[in-house]
A and B are shown apart, each in its own frame.
Chain A
């Protein structure tokens, strides 16, 4: 079974430029998450989707960040314009919300460096 796929793995951009990250969740997983992981910290949730609906985006900085999940499968996270403080790893995760602990499966992340 293929895991969560993210691209690109690494991205270096200058401040004020736009950037986009792509995530393909595990097949059949209806819930998708975007997390931000700063150096030396644990991941922090940015947004959660159930199918194509964003059900929790309270921690997404909406002035510069946007996300979409068309057709309830792949998702894109965008930053425009990027700031130096956005340098971090952006992790995508997915889960199937049924019986059980509904553990989240993570992708390898996109490491963003803003110069």
Chain B
């Protein structure tokens, strides 16, 4: 079974500052993928970034980077230079390599509020 834990129900960050959203995971699959999604108040889940378990380098996509520490089973999202439009729910998710591997397992999310 796969499990995602996001321990921060809510976070505040000053505009233009960086923020780290925590995510830890548990899986017995030897190969897996980790995803971060953003869900604004409109409800749509927006794909942000992906990290494969065998990727040697941490993933980056514009202002988003993923701090992947495999031994610690953590996949924290770092948002640099926060903007007001970054205020939203953020979900960490994983997908394994075994049966049902297309299923994404989500955490409970972190609500990020960017303060002007």
Contacts and interface: CB of A to CB of B under 8 A. Distances in A.
Interface string B29-55: 000010101000011111100101000
Contact of A93 (B4, B45, B100): B45
Given A40-B108, A42-B107, A43-B106, A103 B43 contact: no
B109 interface: yes
B12 to A, nearest CB: 19
Contacts of A89: 43
A101 B35 contact: yes
Interface residues of B, number: 22
A56 B43 contact: no
Interface stretch (A14-22, A74-82, A104-112): A104-112
Interface string B99-114: 0101110111100000
Contacts of B52: 101
A67 interface: no
A91 interface: yes
Interface residues on A, range: 20 to 34
B25 interface: no
Contacts of A111: 43
Given A42-B109, A56-B100, A109 B4 contact: no
A81 B46 CA distance: 31
Nearest to B6: A42
Interface of A: 3, 31, 33, 40-45, 48, 56, 58, 89, 91, 93, 95, 97, 101-109, 111
